[in-house]
């Protein structure tokens, strides 16, 4: 039996709810198959004995295999942490005490990973992630922190994280199959964070040939050129491992917000920021300005005609 404890700091609970959406396996089956004992979860547990559990972990009566943390570490106001009191004291103090005792620590969601929305400008709660603050390694636990197994905090970023990403990561830990070289430079499992949101996006052909959707509400056209899609610079499998077994943001015409990245939220969503010569300020990961210009010129010129007009006509259509 492995023990798992789930705590929430500056959180909206979205990752917990996301977890409840898991299917194949669903949560109940997952715990059974992986012989995991859920010590406590804020919305699922019947018992209200969290303070005792925390103290038993501290005095060694309970071995904590996996600590899952959702939400930011709130340090405010004035470094007291009292904007987030939990079971008698600031949550940040519980985390300081419990973290070194856990074999593995998982930060679920962008908040726990990088600070997310609460830590965004002007960061009124002095929020930070467990081991990163935005792009900077450090966060609340510090650069050098390692949990008992020797691992740094494993980040499963996303607002929220997808249940498949969470459960797969836990299963790999439990089965002893997670090695450190499977993590990227932000300590995220590479199996989920190597590709970008564009992988599997049905609008990808439009991106390739630089055919823009200029207006929301349409199924066709790429959302990158005008509508602020961050798909080309966001590492996520959102279009490969679909949400709720059904869809993704770009599939329903909403630009990718980049919620798996350290800089989420970037603000000015729904609009592509451009520089003076009209080039998007943010280019696809690893692409130089020069090659972007060359690529665009060629792409536009070679666009197949059937893509430059609506595939299915409807009233009030926008292309042409």
Kindly state the DSSP code that residue 34 receives in the 8-state scheme.
T
Residue recorded with tokens 């990808």: 204
Site map 107..146 versus ligand SF4, x via CB under 6 A = ----------------------------------------
Distance CA 40, CA 48 (A): 9
- Using CB under 8 A, which of 12, 191, 241, 319 touches another protein? 12
Q: Which helix or strand (DSSP H or E) is residue 136 part of? A: strand 136-137
Cα 248 → chain centroid: 14
Q: Which does 174 bind (CB under 5 to 8 A by kind): ligand SF4, another protein, none?
A: none
**Residue 256 burial (CB < 10 Å; 0-12/13-18/19+)?**
buried
CB of 219 to another protein, least distance (A): 4
- 259 appears as a binding residue in the annotation: yes
Q: Which of residues 239-278 bind ligand SF4 (CB under 6 A)?
A: 250, 256
Q: Which of residues 284-313 bind another protein (CB under 8 A)?
A: none
CB of 25 to another protein, least distance (A): 12
Count the site residues for ligand SF4 by CB under 6 A. Answer: 14
Q: Which of residues 206-235 bind ligand SF4 (CB under 6 A)?
A: 207, 222-224, 229, 231-232
204 binding ligand SF4? (CB under 6 A): yes
Backbone CA torsion sign across 306, 312, 313, 315: negative
Distance CA 101, CA 310 (A): 58
Site map 61..90 versus another protein, x via CB under 8 A = -------------x--xx-x-xxxxxxxx-
If the CB atoms of residues 31 and 292 are measured against another protein, the closer one turns out to be 31
3-state DSSP assignment of residue 240: coil
If the CB atoms of residues 45 and 254 are measured against ligand SF4, the closer one turns out to be 254
Q: Is 234 in contact with 256 (CB distance < 8 Å)? A: yes
Distance CA 231, CA 256 (A): 5
8 binding another protein? (CB under 8 A): yes
The strand pairing partners of 136, in sequence order, are 133
164 binding ligand SF4? (CB under 6 A): no
- 228 appears as a binding residue in the annotation: no
Q: Which does 173 bind (CB under 5 to 8 A by kind): ligand SF4, another protein, none?
A: none
- 229 appears as a binding residue in the annotation: yes
Any residues with CB less than 8 A from the CB of 230 and at least 6 apart, and which? 197, 255, 256, 257, 258, 261, 266, 282
CB of 313 to ligand SF4, least distance (A): 21
Distance CA 75, CA 80 (A): 6
Q: Which residues bind ligand SF4 (CB under 6 A)?
A: 197-198, 201, 203-204, 207, 222-224, 229, 231-232, 250, 256
């Amino acid at each position: 039996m492995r023990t798992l404890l789930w705590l929430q700091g500056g959180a909206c609970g979205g990752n917990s709810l996301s977890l409840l959406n898991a299917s194949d396996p669903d949560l109940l089956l997952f715990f059974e198959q992986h012989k995991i004992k859920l010590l406590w979860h804020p919305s699922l547990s019947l018992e209200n004995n969290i303070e005792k559990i925390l103290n038993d972990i501290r005095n060694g009566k309970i071995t904590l295999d996996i600590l899952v943390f959702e939400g930011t570490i709130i340090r405010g106001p004035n470094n007291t942490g009292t904007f987030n009191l939990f079971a008698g004291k600031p949550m940040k103090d519980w985390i300081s005490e419990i973290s070194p005792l856990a074999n593995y620590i998982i930060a679920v969601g962008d908040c726990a990973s990088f600070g997310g929305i609460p830590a965004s400008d002007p960061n009124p709660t002095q929020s930070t992630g467990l081991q990163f603050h935005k792009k900077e390694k450090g966060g609340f636990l510090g650069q050098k922190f390692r949990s008992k197994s020797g691992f740094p905090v494993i980040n499963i970023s996303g607002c929220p994280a997808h249940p498949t990403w969470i459960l797969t990561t836990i299963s790999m830990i439990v089965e002893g199959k997670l090695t450190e070289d499977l993590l990227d430079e932000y300590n995220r499992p590479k199996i989920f964070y190597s590709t970008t949101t564009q992988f599997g996006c049905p609008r990808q052909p439009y991106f390739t040939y630089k055919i823009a959707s200029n207006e929301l509400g349409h199924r066709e056209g790429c959302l990158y050129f005008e509508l602020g899609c961050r798909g080309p610079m966001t590492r996520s499998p959102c279009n490969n491992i679909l949400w709720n077994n059904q869809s993704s943001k770009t599939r329903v015409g909403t630009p990718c917000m980049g919620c798996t990245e350290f800089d989420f939220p970037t603000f000015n969503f729904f609009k592509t920021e451009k520089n003076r010569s009209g080039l998007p300020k943010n280019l696809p990961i690893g692409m130089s300005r020069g090659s972007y210009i060359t690529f665009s010129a060629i792409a536009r010129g070679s666009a197949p005609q059937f893509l430059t007009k609506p595939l299915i006509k409807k009233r009030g259509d926008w292309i042409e």
